[in-house]
Structure 1
Amino acid sequence: MTDDPFADLGETLEDTPDQQDESQSSQQSSNPATTSTTTKDYDGDHLEDRDPMTETAFSYEAALQRPFYARKETIENFDSWLNYELERDLNQRGYQNIVVREMTDALLRTVVEEDLVAEVAERFEQAREDAIQK
């Protein structure tokens, strides 16, 4: 038994949709009739034709799962935004097989690459001030 309360996070129910997406992705990429040749990806054994509109950017196994601690309302708002705004926008752009790990990865890269330190610090400060005023 481990002292890590998050040791079993990889075994949660949330893994099931991503794993299903991976099996669908594997089936699509193994059938040349359903996969368009747009980019090449080396997987260690051979080159495989991949379609960025249907294939995920990286596998479930390549993802690092980390816990986030936030208030219930913040998480609910984030989940709604992720599922109803971002996923809808990606779908309208023609993307299929959209998985949470890719959207989360894009979000985290945006925060870092756009250097949103000042904006995040302002939200942090505002939350502290709001807590004191209550």
Structure 2
Amino acid sequence: MTDNDPFADLGETLEDPDEESPSADSTTGESQTSTSETDQPTDPMTDTAFSYEAAQQRPFYARASTIDDFDSWLNYELERELNERGYQNIVVREMTDALLRTIVEEDLVEDVAQRFESARSDTSETGSE
């Protein structure tokens, strides 16, 4: 555990070092996929863009109301939009990945900085969090 990230060592505590993952190559650490799986064409309307194993979970620290608003937006607005576009098997990891890529690729630094400043200003004016 570090002072900056109290969950930094969480992965180490969850993995059993004596137990080898059945899908990992012990020499390279890369996941093994059967030939029959890779030969199958994927359907972007039903198949996920990446597997659960390819995702990295990270903690987000935010106010409960912000997380509630985000969860509602993700589950009711974005998922509904994707469903209306014909996508099935919509998973949170893909929506979150798309959201994070959008923030980075659309260069929303100025917008995020303004919201950060606004929250700081609001907190200092009211004296509470």
Q: TM-score, normalised by structure 1?
A: 0.69
Instruction: Report the counterpart of residue 40 of structure 1 in structure 2.
Output: none
Amino-acid identity (%) = 66
AA in 2 matched with 1:57 = A
Q: CA deviation at 1:5?
A: 4.4
Structure 2 spans left out of the alignment, 5+ residues: 15-32
AA in 2 matched with 1:70 = A
Q: CA deviation at 1:48?
A: 1.8
The structure with the greater share of residues assigned to strand is: 1
Larger Cα-atom Rg? 2
How far apart, CA to CA, are the structure 2 residues paired with 1:93 and 1:120?
28
Moved over 2 A (4+): 2-6, 43-47
Structure 1 spans left out of the alignment, 5+ residues: 12-42
The structure with the greater share of residues assigned to helix is: 1
1:40-55 matches, within 5 Å, as 45=35, 46-55=38-47
Instruction: Report the counterpart of residue 78 of structure 1 in structure 2.
Output: 70
Q: Deviations over 1:66-121 (max 9, x none)?
A: 00000000000000000000000000000000000000000000000000000000
Cα-Cα RMSD: 1.9
Aligned length: 100
Q: Deviations over 1:18-61 (max 9, x none)?
A: xxxxxxxxxxxxxxxxxxxxxxxxx5734221100000000000
AA in 2 matched with 1:72 = A
How far apart, CA to CA, are the structure 2 residues paired with 1:54 and 1:44?
20
AA in 2 matched with 1:87 = E
SS in 2 for 1:109: helix
Q: TM-score, normalised by structure 2?
A: 0.71
Instruction: Report the counterpart of residue 56 of structure 2 in structure 1.
Output: 64
Instruction: Report the counterpart of residue 84 of structure 2 in structure 1.
Output: 92
- Note closer, same or farther for the CA distance 1:121–1:44 as it changes in structure 2 (3 Å cut): farther
Instruction: Report the counterpart of residue 123 of structure 2 in structure 1.
Output: 131
SS in 1 for 2:123: helix
